[in-house]
A and B are shown apart, each in its own frame.
Chain A
Amino acid sequence: MLSLRFIKRATFTKNDFLWFGCLLAWGLNLTFMKVQAEERFSYLSEYSARSESEKAILGEKLFQDLNCGQCHQEIDQKKILSRSTAPNILVRALQLDPHYISKFLEKKGSDWKLNRMPEIRALDDPEKKEELTHFLTELFLPAHKTEKAERPKAKLEKIEHGRTLFHTIGCLACHSPEKGVQPEGVDSQVELKKTLSTGRPLEILNEKYTFNGLSDFLQNPDNNSAYFRMPKFPLSRSESEALAHYLLRDRTPTLKSFSIDREKSKKGKEHFLNLGCQNCHLSPSQGPQLKSLPLSSQSLERGCLSNPKTAKSFNFHLNPQESEALKAFLKSFTQVKASDPKSKLRLETARLGCLKCHQRDGQGGPNEIIASYFSSQASEEDLGDEGRFPPPLTGVGAKILPKVLPDILQGKKTLRPYLKTRMPSFGNHDAKKLASLFVQADQHLLKPEPERAGRNARGRHLVGSKGMSCITCHTLNGKKSLGIPGLDLGQLSDRLQPQWFRRFLVSPAAYRSQTRMPAFFDIELDDKTLLPLKPIPTSVFRDLDSIWVYLMESGHTRLPVGLEKTNAFELEPKKKPIVFRTFLKGSGLHAIAVGHPENIHYAFDAKNCRLAIAWKGKFLDAEATWEDRFTPLSIPLGKKILTVPMEPLLAKLPQPTSPWPSIPKGHKFKGYKIDKQGFPVFQYTWDEFTVSNSIKPLPSQSKKKQGFVQTISLSTSVERAKRPPIYLKEPQSPPIQIIEILFDGLPVKGFYSDNKRRITPPLSFEKRLSVKLEVTW
């Protein structure tokens, strides 16, 4: 789709695009490779080749990454090495800022020695360079127009979202964190300095990409080629847009128009065709492919492999380590045999950067600073470091079934939703190759072992809450665990080697040093290695196999005890009231719910000391309080929930006309007494008053009139003259009615001085006040 759009707008032949992509590739290298030390290939520093065969392995990789096979096709008859890592120019043309071309061709702001694309001598001619600039700029114009017309305005929250993504999903494995953006508690200055030396700055993106271009690139960094460097992260469209907003937050697109000289552009197109760019860059071009002279033993010192200072048409600026490795590889066709899977694996994991996030055999893992950015969706007390860091790759070739390993290495079938870091994909080709290297390298870990014998019923028992209670910490086929949200057990049997499962369960900590999973079996372990000191007893194997069998069948068998729903937690008041403290919706976190056999219930808010809600029908389910680890708010089971307004019945006003307070003030909860019938009578203080508050079902309940009678009694030893006056406001909601007011035990009639507000004059009692209310609804 993208290429069609482009062709319509720009009417160039397919060949035209070759040059363009070639240069783009160049540009890409420059910006992304502004890296540590003087290494063009970061894996050179991690992979030290000692023997000739190790050098040859490295040479093979360089041969691929420098695209040598594109010209030296005779080396690579099977085309294993010759897939291009250079980008597809048709896609690129829609992504980059046209202004970027001239800067790029002028070699501005970048270090050419770190570039994978060779320097082309022919471009030393300024005239040719200018013509090429015209040609390529013209190609880029559509992207320019698109950006002018379509770039959405960057909203602050979008940038913030992008910033969060950038610092959590794994970008920091290769790129520097933004200055000043740190996880809580990390000390800024000193530590950030340390990271900058290994990170890859992204500021250049501002002048390089258009907004839509970068967003598209993040969706598909592979550009449909088999090899690519920036891996593909699983991102939704809105996430890649947020990232683009963030990465381009300082971008101000240059809006000046271009004057393209048609003649020059035409000549530029010819240069583009004649220099052989189509050898590397995937494009729909039908143009001629340049062929190199055949390689011979003499040519190992000539051409591209000659001294960079005197190199002629193409100069790859090879350093001695690179040339040596390439030579060893080229010699290996006749002399050196290079088939050591361990060295190959070492190089491959270095090249793909696996060990920037994962550990293998105690090596690798994120450096200390970057590690602090790894975070978890779950809370840390649940999963600890396991909730933040991707799993180690130690023995992974013997852990994961070979048939699913390539998928997992492409970030498919992820099992750890709590990791904020996402596993990116490096493409099918690399994943398959890496998987087979892992399997070869770890083959020795798969040993003959006792026969398997497991029973579903036994496994169900062990997984359930009366057995080993795996479901306390593990999800099972999407069913929430009772406690910690650990990884889903339902998927395990599809992906794990059963042998590995057996060994892991005997001693989890031997496989994941920071795991919170205890060793469940009473098997003596070595202090240092944490591995069993003696052979594992058959009975333990039988239990492990039973769990395995149950997990294999768990999708279509009974749920374990603990996950099967029971309705055991409904509270039913039968003879006496039930008093039950809980977090309750409508009443808050200090709720005291009281249920009655009459099927009318209420909740008292012990913080604000007031009747908060009342309802009819069923009372409450205690599961949230008794069972659910996350203590969600309980919800009244019944219907007809009456929410009592927060406004207090009684208040002290500075002036009779002062506004009525919206919440009760000065109350301190003091507890409750349970009377002989089991009714709680609440006690609290209100400044100089002690208050008791009793709420009981109306003595006679009928269908017409159901509800409570509430009696609020105040007493004080402070003389009336020495305390502020108290006013009463008649409740506005009709279900609550005052039926009696007593001053020092004597009834008074309701009277209101402010009829509009229904507020009484100051209540003239000496020591005791009692107000009786009916709550019917």
Chain B
Amino acid sequence: MQYLLILLLILGTTFAQAQSDGFKIKLPTEADYYPIETISGPKGLRLEVSGITLDSQGQIYLALRKGEIWIFDEKEPPSSKHRFRLFAEGLHEPLGLTFRDGWFYLTQRTEVTRIKDSDRDGKADTYECLGQPWGVTGNYHEYAYGPAFDHEGNLWVSLNQTLGKKVINEDHWRGWSMKMTPNGEWLPVSTGLRSPCGIGENSSGDIFITDQQGNWIPTCSLQHLEPGDFHGHVSSLRDVSRQGSPVKDPGKVPSGLSIPQAHQKIKGFKRPAIWFPYRKMGQAATDLLTDNTQGKFGPFKDQIFVGEFTLSQINRVYLEKVKGVYQGACFPFRKGFQSAVFRLEWDSKGNLLAGETNRGWNSLGSQSYGFERLKWTGKVPFEVLKINAKSLGFRITLTHGVNPESVHPESIQIESYTYKLHSTYGSPEIDRKQHAVKVLKISPDRKVIELQVENLRRSYVHEFNLSGIRSTTGLPLLHPKAYYTLNEIP
């Protein structure tokens, strides 16, 4: 045999990978760790899943964009008529669904509603309106997302900007996040969002929201949301003087500042915790979901999974707090869904459910809607688990030990760039720079690499290319790219 063949054992399974001379054995793929199960609905039902939740029994409920809620009853065999059952109908494009104390909470275009099956005949009969606090102009892009409960019992929603033609002029609180307190009072919280498609809590109980590239939003982002924040889209500033606004008027926002400049000059401007570089990490971020499965879904405890519309994939985010500010790294996680990944939820076994619909836009994949489930096989992929910022560089933690010989300045490339906050659609990556890297230390378990990186730049994305790194068993990283948003340097 002329070639070198290395057989490896990872958690009881063999993967082989090749090193030379034209002979190649297939490297493991995402599907080897996280296979996708496609769940088809009954014939004739367009399963445009726009909301997923579980009731107290762990039963799965799916909201569909056309305005229905269906029960997905896994106890019924796939051939059974009763596997999918209609629970509620006649709703106006619900884009989120959650369950609490016997009630299903959902957003419609014009209101937040909770519904219940009071007479227990299997179909909802009580539809309670919890408020119509935002303006609706009839514009097609005025999506209302959420709702999501936080640990204090506040119910959060996020409201898309009006983009284009209106029927009437009632556009208050568009581009805002709002919450309903446990007493039923509606409060606007932060502003300057464009298409804030996902909202939810992280493991520390802070509220996060995704946003999508467009005018004033240079690329998709994950925002930490606090009262009074201005996230960058100027159209919603018209409401800062409205009664109840916690946001102070930042004055005229100039177009064309870089993010570091905007951070210095614009009062209240909040830098996102994560920038998702365009195309590299997707083109339209959707839902977010914190891993609270206690290890049932793999090694990514407390990290956040983020859906991606155009590229039909799921990304992963690791967050840390530096000088009181959230920041961290994002990584591609799993591609290959059949349509735009729109909603995420855990099932009772800790599998990741993905609701899909791409109506109105386009996405990769073979379908325009669907419902899929991502399971963990129990094998841990060779991945960057997390990246932490250090005062002079970064610390990279991996899921498996590295071959130290593969760790050297050439196998770790770091480039930084930032964006422009401007009125035009999206921003190019600007002010790019390559950073010289020095490997300081590899931990005894070979999972932690300490790096010294020259001239770290505050408010810049630091893009990592680690394609040269090999595990002790010779594997490359399943995803060698990572993007760290460095808001603050420790």
Contacts and interface: CB of A to CB of B under 8 A. Distances in A.
A482 B111 contact: no
B253 A185 contact: yes
A578 B67 CA distance: 12
Contacts of B425: 380-381, 384-385, 387-388, 514
B424 A518 contact: no
B256 A671 contact: no
B255 A473 contact: no
Contact of B256 (A368, A483, A520, A676): A368
B326 to A, nearest CB: 27
Interface string B87-118: 00111110000000000000011110100001
B362 A472 contact: yes
B290 interface: no
A298 B359 CA distance: 75
Contact of B215 (A380, A514, A625): A380
B138 A633 contact: yes
B388 interface: no
B86 to A, nearest CB: 12
A48 interface: no
Contacts of B422: 185, 372
Interface string A550-592: 0000000000000000000000000000111111000011101
A669 interface: yes
A582 B92 contact: yes
Nearest to A517: B362
Contact of B90 (A187, A387, A580, A589): A580
Interface in B106-149: 108-111, 113, 118-119, 124-129, 132, 136-141
Interface in A369-404: 371-372, 379-381, 384-385, 387-388
A622 B64 CA distance: 14
Q: Is the interface of B mostly helix, strand, loop or mixed?
A: loop
Interface stretch (B162-170, B201-209, B436-444): B162-170
Nearest to A594: B90
Nearest to B213: A384
Contacts, number: 162
A466 to B, nearest CB: 8
Interface string B426-441: 1010000000000000
Contact of B141 (A381, A514, A517, A520): A381
B254 A516 contact: no
A429 B334 CA distance: 55
Given A380-B214, A580-B67, A580-B90, A606 B129 contact: yes
B177 interface: no
B312 to A, nearest CB: 9
Contacts of B24: none
A384 B214 CA distance: 7
B255 A372 contact: yes
B458 interface: no
B363 interface: yes
Nearest to B114: A671
B463 to A, nearest CB: 11
Contacts of B459: none
A607 interface: yes
B358 interface: yes
A341 B279 CA distance: 36
A482 B91 CA distance: 22
B476 to A, nearest CB: 14
B138 A518 contact: no
B66 to A, nearest CB: 5
A518 B360 contact: no
Interface string A599-636: 00000001100000000000000100111011101000
Contact of A465 (B136, B137, B168, B368): B368
Interface residues of B, number: 61
Interface in A631-684: 631, 633, 669-676, 680, 683
Given A368-B256, A385-B425, A631-B138, A589 B110 contact: yes
B310 interface: yes
A18 B136 CA distance: 65
B310 to A, nearest CB: 5
A671 B361 CA distance: 32
Interface in B393-451: 422-426, 428
A595 B129 CA distance: 21
B325 interface: no
A517 B311 CA distance: 10
Nearest to A673: B126
A627 B137 CA distance: 19
Nearest to B170: A589
A40 B127 CA distance: 74
Contact of B110 (A469, A606, A630, A674): A606
B195 interface: yes
Contacts of B283: 516, 518
A509 interface: yes
B423 A185 contact: yes
A674 B141 CA distance: 30
B132 A669 contact: yes
A693 to B, nearest CB: 13
A674 B108 contact: no
A462 B65 CA distance: 25
B234 interface: yes
Given A483-B360, A589-B167, A185 B255 contact: yes
Interface string A151-186: 000000000000000000000000000000001111
Q: Point out which of A483, A592, A626, A676 has the most chain B C-beta atoms below 10 A from its C-beta.
A: A626
A590 B167 contact: no
A484 interface: yes
B148 to A, nearest CB: 21
Contact of A483 (B127, B214, B254, B361): B361
A590 B132 CA distance: 10
Given A581-B67, A606-B129, A385 B362 contact: no
B127 A518 contact: no
Contacts of B66: 622, 625-626
Given A581-B108, A583-B138, A606-B110, A186 B255 contact: yes
Given A372-B255, A671-B127, A672-B127, A379 B167 contact: no
Contacts of B322: none
B110 A473 contact: no
A335 to B, nearest CB: 46
B489 interface: no
Contacts of B163: 379-381
Nearest to A592: B90
B90 A581 contact: yes
A517 B422 CA distance: 22
Nearest to A378: B164
A358 B195 CA distance: 30
B335 to A, nearest CB: 10
A292 to B, nearest CB: 53
A592 B165 CA distance: 23
B198 to A, nearest CB: 17
B364 interface: yes
Interface in A511-537: 513-514, 516-518, 520
Contacts of A183: 255, 423
A675 B279 CA distance: 50
Contacts of A469: 362, 368
7 contacts: A185-B255, A380-B163, A469-B368, A473-B361, A589-B109, A589-B137, A673-B118
Given A633-B138, A633-B167, A671-B129, 20 more contacts: A184-B255, A185-B216, A185-B253, A185-B422, A185-B423, A186-B255, A187-B254, A187-B255, A371-B424, A372-B255, A484-B362, A514-B425, A516-B310, A580-B90, A589-B136, A622-B66, A625-B92, A629-B140, A673-B125, A674-B127
Interface of B: 65-67, 89-93, 108-111, 113, 118-119, 124-129, 132, 136-141, 163-165, 167-168, 195, 214-216, 234, 252-256, 279, 283, 310-311, 358-364, 368, 422-426, 428
Can you list the 8 inter-chain pairs with the closest CB atoms, starting with the nearest?
A185-B423, A187-B254, A185-B255, A581-B92, A579-B90, A379-B164, A629-B360, A384-B425
